[in-house]
Structure 1
Amino acid sequence: MKKVLIPVTNHATLGETDQANGTYAPELTHVVHVLNDNGIAFDIVSINGGKAPLYGTDIEGDDVNNQVLGDASFQTQINNTVPVSQVNIDNYDAIFYPGGFGLLSDLASNEEVASMAAKHYEAGGIIAAVCHGPAALLPITLSNGEPLIASKQVTGFTREEEVDFGTINDIPFLLEEALTRKAAQYSKVQPWGEFVIEDERVITGQNPTSAHAVGEFLAKLLAE
């Protein structure tokens, strides 16, 4: 059985504010739903381990989100995430980073997770991310000294979407700018439109709307 490692943030607020935050639930649940449908296993991990903060758990009309959040085994995993220090990356076929603003404050600069991801990618593994999740790709440096995304086309949450969402003044940094400076190419479509790029086993999705499609791309690559 194929297995995906899902690192989530331990940071429970939006940047330095006191606004409750963490991982944006639908970006995690919609991908988990696709993994479950395709018989792909997953483990949820975090830098420190323990209960991971989620927001977006009460979105009306999102049946997939509600279904996955209501699953007892999922709740056990999200409330008891495995510390990254206990992870053997050789046991996984892919890494998936869900979004949410929390990871801008930890996974976006964490060297331990980044070095693990670099090892995984160089061994032929797949790396996927959606919305703010691609921030976790920023610190990944390959053994040749090049950033992972220096040769990749990527997307991620846009400046326009930050403005629409009212977060532009509170985020630790602007993801679109950071990706544009480091990636071979950063691309986007109109705000809130579904958009996914896959480039040499690196899958990125622009926003929450793109989460399901990221899951489908990931499942397809894992099946090859």
Structure 2
Amino acid sequence: MKKVLIPVTNHATLGETEQENGTFSPELTHVVHVLKEAGIDYEIASIKGGKAPIYGQDIEGDDVNSNMLSDKDFQNRVNNTTPVSQVNIADYDAVFYPGGFGLLSDLATNQDFAKLAAQLYERGGIIAAVCHGPAALLPIDLSNGESLLADKSITSFTREEEIDYGTIDDVPFLLEEALTRKAARFNKIQPWGSFVVEDDRLITGQNPASAHAVGKAIVDHLAV
């Protein structure tokens, strides 16, 4: 059975504010839903391990999000994430980083997960991320010393979407700018539409609306 590693943040607020944050629930639940339907296993991990902070559980009209959140197995995995020190990357075929603002304060600079992701990618694995998840791609360097992003075309949550969401002044850094400076090409469409970029074995989605399509792209790549 194919298996996906899902690193999530331990940081429970938006940057240095006191606003409740962490991983944005629909970006995790929609992808896990797609993986489960395809018979693909997953493991939720974090830098420290333990219960992962999550927000966005109360979104109305999102049945996938509601149903996944009520799933006891899923809740158990969220409440008992595997610490990075216990992750054996050889067990996984892909790494997926869901978004939420929390990871801008930890996974965006974490070398432990970055090194594991580089190992997986260099042996033919898949790396995927959605919304703010691509921040976790910033510290990933390959064995040749080059950034994973150096020759890649990607997308992420955009400056316009930060403005619309009212977070432009509170984020630790502007993700679109950081990625534009590091990646070969940054791509985006008008705010809030579903948009996914696939470049070799790197899959990125622009915003929460892109989560389902990112999950499907992961499944399609794993089926090859």
Q: Same fold (TM over 0.5)?
A: yes
Q: Deviations over 1:126-163 (max 9, x none)?
A: 00000000000000000111000111000000000000
Q: Separation in 2 of the partners of 1:119 and 1:32?
A: 23
1:19 and 1:65 mapped to 2: Cα distance?
A: 21
Q: Does residue 125 of structure 1 match 2:130?
A: no
In 2, the alpha carbon distance for the partners of 1:212 and 1:177 equals 25
Do residues 9 (structure 1) and 9 (structure 2) align? Answer: yes
Per-residue Cα deviation, 1:67-106 (whole angstroms, up to 9, x for no partner): 0000000000000000010000000000000000000000
Q: Residues 94-126 of structure 1: CA distance to partner in whole angstroms, max 9, x if unpaired?
A: 000000000000000001110111111001110
User: 1:31, CA displacement in angstroms?
Assistant: 0.2
Q: Give 3-state SS (helix, strand or coil) of 1:35's partner.
A: helix
Q: How does 1:1-224 map to 2 (within 5 A)?
A: 1-224=1-224
> Which TM-score applies when normalising by structure 1?
1.00
What amino acid does structure 1 have at the position aligned with 2:60? E
Q: Distance in 1 between matches of 2:113 and 2:88?
A: 12
Runs of 4+ in 1 over 4 A off after TM superposition: none
Cα displacement string for residues 171-200 of structure 1 (whole angstroms, at most 9, x for unaligned residues): 000000000000000000000011000101
> Distance in 1 between the 2:27 and 2:116 partners?
22
- Residues in 1 aligned to 2:175 and 2:154: alpha-carbon distance in whole angstroms: 12
CA RMSD of aligned residues (A): 0.3
Q: What is the identity, as a one-letter code, of the residue corresponding to 2:138?
A: L
Q: Structure 2: which 5+ residue stretches go unaligned?
A: none
Report the number of matched residues.
224
Aligned residue type for 2:158 = T
Q: Distance in 2 between matches of 1:135 and 1:31?
A: 18
SS at structure 2 position matched to 1:129:
strand
Aligned equivalents of 1:203 and 1:146: distance in 2?
A: 18
| Equivalent-residue separation in structure 2 for 1:220 and 1:120 (angstroms) | 18
How many Å apart are 1:202 and its aligned residue? 0.2
The alpha-carbon deviation at position 25 of structure 1 amounts to 0.1
Matched position secondary structure for 1:30: helix
AA of the residue aligned to 1:22 = G
Q: TM-score, normalised by structure 2?
A: 1.00
Counterpart Cα distance in 1 of 2:147 and 2:44: 25
CA deviations over 1:43-86 (Å, ceiling 9, x no partner): 00000000000000000000000000000000000000000100
Give the letter for the 1:139 counterpart: P
